[in-house]
Chains A and B, each alone.
Chain A
Amino acid sequence: MKNKVILFSSIISALVITAIFALMQPSQPNQLTLRFSPFVGKEPLVLHHKNYPNPGGEGIFTVRDLQLFISNIRLIGRDGNYNEAESYHLARFDGDESFYDIVLTNINAQDYQQIELGIGVDPSANGTITIAGDLDPNSRMAWSWDVGYKFLLLEGALLYQEQQLPLVYHIGFNESYTTVTFPISETITSNNRLIKFNVDVLQLFGKAEPIDLSVISTVKFDPDHVALIAKGFNKLITLD
């Protein structure tokens, strides 16, 4: 009987040791998820299949792709800040989900009161061949190493007067890099550790005097037009 007890306890101890090692596998640290959902005004953006009215003119438009860089994420707290390393995220909406998530790991969101995001690529990384985060000089968002990155890519088509006009907005340039700041509420951090953002593409085409997409259907390197669209970066992202 005593032998059985020893044998049994040996097996148990062996299992416990195995379990301890197994539990030493990486566990889920504290996370904060930033969720970005695309909109056209108040309507959710549906790629390819939905039409939206031309903000400043005749006709309707469709979007085949929307991609933008969200960079240099910083959480600001009374007792110090958190700066994400290699913080370059290419938000895109053509995957399995209609939204794009950035997950910050190993942080206590309760320690922070504000979040800062960069829209685009900061001048020190733009125009280089640095490979960090989603920055990739061989990607669709790279123009070429001496020109830098597209910060935002919006492509689609405008249907008006029975014709189809291509829409191409490739917005870059160092001057367009914009940082935006939002408060982090306590309910967000203590409950679901999820901050929801909306990305409203209509903000790119002006509110007071909306742009007629048939007049400015493409913007790439013309500095005045780039500045006109990038002006909207300030209000492009809002808290849900």
Chain B
Amino acid sequence: MTMSKKISVTAILIAVSVIAALYFFVPNKRSTTHLMNMNVPFVFGRFQIPQDNPLTKESVELGRRLFYDPRLSSNNKVSCATCHKQRLAFTDGLVHSVGVSGKPLAFNTMSLSNLMWGPQHFFWNGRSPSLENQALQPIQHIDEMDQDLTLLVDELAKDASYRKLFDLAYGGVTTSAIAKALANFQRTLISANSRYDQYLRGEIKLTTEEELGRKLFMAHPDTKASLRGGNCIDCHSQFLTSGFSTLYDGFSNNGLNSDDNLPAGLLEVTGKEEHRGLFKTPTLRNIAVTGPYMHDGRFENLQQVLNHYNGGIKRSRTLSPLIVEADNIPKTQKNHISLNLSEDEKKAIIAFLHTLTDEDFLTNRRFSNPFNSEVNDEE
């Protein structure tokens, strides 16, 4: 071996070692475009995007297509959008969702908006720890989309346009890429231009009735301090109106069942008896268009929901003490739990809830079915 050869061997080895070392510092690169123009209100607070699934334009475009594609189901008739319709803030207007089996599911379809905030435990009982994990469950559920993931990957890989989209976004068609793309499309479903948002930004004033409703929404009643309240904020955060994000703070037993028929709820996930009957507190964004209400869709309209909190509460051992104790008349809760709000106050809270409807969100073309239009959705 000549001197120059020795030097080059050494140089190559050093180069290899530097490249190996760079592995610790430089994340994987693909020619993707990060979403820079996402408009997120400061008051929503912090959010996290998984390190292994950066929010790229390519992944969102793929996710949107998958979301609306009925090929994700076994009979090629049911897509995510079958139960999550944009016009209804990604709900379906049904008491119980219906998938490929035609059998109504046990639960009401959840609205999809502002999913990067609030409890990062998905489904009504919180069984899924991430949007990526969540995305694959309805696809495989026997009554929802009943799809075999291996067959789905094969089917999508045969489609040249999908192959291209997957290659760009994730470097190939895989189960994990399907999950990641669906998760990323859902991360972009941000509702932040309702009248309430405009009010928060100082652009409009609420009507007198809406303002009364807002104040009642934001207050836990305290008769000792002559403070009337609708007690909503004890579970629904002030800006997001979703459940709280920390640990299981975003889950509550809101008095729908008594002890003799208290469903498992969060207990199914944690195994803790104190979590029996607790369900995820949903966002109230666009609540006026997402009926029927509650995890089992038992209430047809918002009047029925308000009546529930105003006298319809059923006692059980895990019922929130905040609900038992919340009363606008001193010491009447011994036998009958009620907020004891007046008819006008109930109407005012409903008027405030209507300020959470975001027409831009319900009609934003970027969230719509890409198969229906060839329009350029870029802005």
- Residue ranges of A at the interface with B (Cβ–Cβ < 8 Å): 3, 6-7, 10-11, 13-15, 17-18, 20-22, 24-25, 47-48, 64, 90, 92, 94-95, 129, 131, 136-140, 142-145, 147, 155-157, 163, 166-168, 170, 217-218, 220-223, 225
Contacts and interface: CB of A to CB of B under 8 A. Distances in A.
A221 B24 contact: no
A48 B220 CA distance: 23
Interface of B: 1, 6, 9-10, 13-14, 16-18, 20-22, 24-25, 42-46, 117-118, 218-220, 222, 224-225, 227, 233, 237-240, 242, 244-249, 274, 321-322, 324-325, 334
B10 A222 contact: no
A11 B12 CA distance: 10
Contacts of B13: 10-11, 13-14
Nearest to B223: A222
Contacts of B25: 21
A137 B225 contact: no
Contacts of B118: 138
A222 B249 contact: no
B24 A21 contact: yes
A7 B9 contact: yes
Contacts of B219: 144
7 contacts: A10-B14, A13-B14, A21-B18, A22-B21, A136-B246, A138-B43, A222-B222
A24 to B, nearest CB: 8
Interface of A is mostly: mixed
A21 B220 contact: no
B241 to A, nearest CB: 9
Contacts of A14: 13-14, 16-17
Given A137-B239, A144-B219, 5 more contacts: A10-B9, A20-B21, A139-B237, A139-B244, A142-B237
A14 B13 CA distance: 6
Contacts of B233: 143-144
A167 B222 contact: no
A22 B274 contact: no
B45 A155 contact: no
Contacts of B9: 6-7, 10
Contact of B249 (A11, A129, A139, A220): A139
B322 A168 contact: yes
Contacts of B247: 92, 94-95
B45 A10 contact: no
Contacts of A18: 17, 20-21
Closest 3 CB pairs of A and B: A21-B21, A166-B321, A138-B237
A145 B240 CA distance: 13
Nearest to A136: B45
Contact of B245 (A13, A15, A138, A143): A138
B13, B227, B242: which has the most chain A beta carbons within 10 Å?
A: B13
B338 to A, nearest CB: 14
A22 B21 CA distance: 6
B198 to A, nearest CB: 17
B270 to A, nearest CB: 10
Given A138-B239, A168-B321, A220 B45 contact: no
Given A10-B9, A144-B233, A170-B220, A137 B43 contact: yes
B130 to A, nearest CB: 19
A11 B322 CA distance: 67
B17 A220 contact: no
B220 A220 contact: yes
Contacts of A221: 222, 224-225, 227
Contacts of A11: 13
B302 to A, nearest CB: 21
Given A3-B1, A138-B45, A138-B238, A10 B10 contact: yes
A85 B240 CA distance: 27
Contact of A156 (B1, B10, B24, B321): B321
A81 B117 CA distance: 36
Contacts of B42: 129, 131
Given A13-B10, A22-B21, A166-B321, A145 B238 contact: yes
B274 A131 contact: no
